[in-house]
Amino acid sequence: MVDIGLEAYRFSISWSRLIPNTKDFTAYANVCFEQFGDRVGHWTTMNEPNVFVLGGYDIGFLPPQRCSAPFGFNCSRVSDNILGYGRAVGIYQTTLGNPPLYIHENGIY
C-alpha cells in the first residue's frame, strides 16, 4: 500500500465471522478493540448510519422496510443504533484510551 501511495485503508471486520451467533454489539466491539487495538490507529464504530435509518425505516429499501405510518410505528431499532454507538465508545475508551474514533457518512472520510 505504501508503494502505491496509500496513506490509509478502510476495511470492516465482519461481526458474524468474529463472533457468530450473537447480536450483542458491545461484545463485538470489545473483541475488536482488544484483538486489533494495537494495530488500528483510527476506528469507525458506525458506517453510514443514515443508510441504516433512512433505508430501513423511512424509505424502506432495506430491511425491516419501514416503521413509519402507514407501515407501522415500531422504530426502536433506530434508538438501539445510537445506544450501541454509545456503548462502543465506552468500551473503546476503557480499552484503548482516547485515540481517534469516527462515525462515517456516505463518502465522507
For the chain, the structural domain boundaries read 23-104
Report residue 81: phi and psi, to 5°: -60, -45
Measured between alpha carbons, how far is 102 from 44 in angstroms, rounded to an integer?
5
Q: Which single residue is written with the C-alpha cell 505504501?
A: 2
Q: What percent of the chain has pLDDT over 70?
A: 81
Q: What is the mean pLDDT of residues 13-21?
A: 87
Within the chain, residue ranges assigned H as helices are: 15-18, 25-36, 49-53, 76-96
Which helix or strand (DSSP H or E) is residue 47 part of? strand 43-47
Predicted model pTM: 0.69
Q: Which residues pair with 103 in a beta bridge?
A: 46
The tens digit of pLDDT for each residue in 76-109 reads 556 777 788 888 889 988 988 877 777 777 754 4
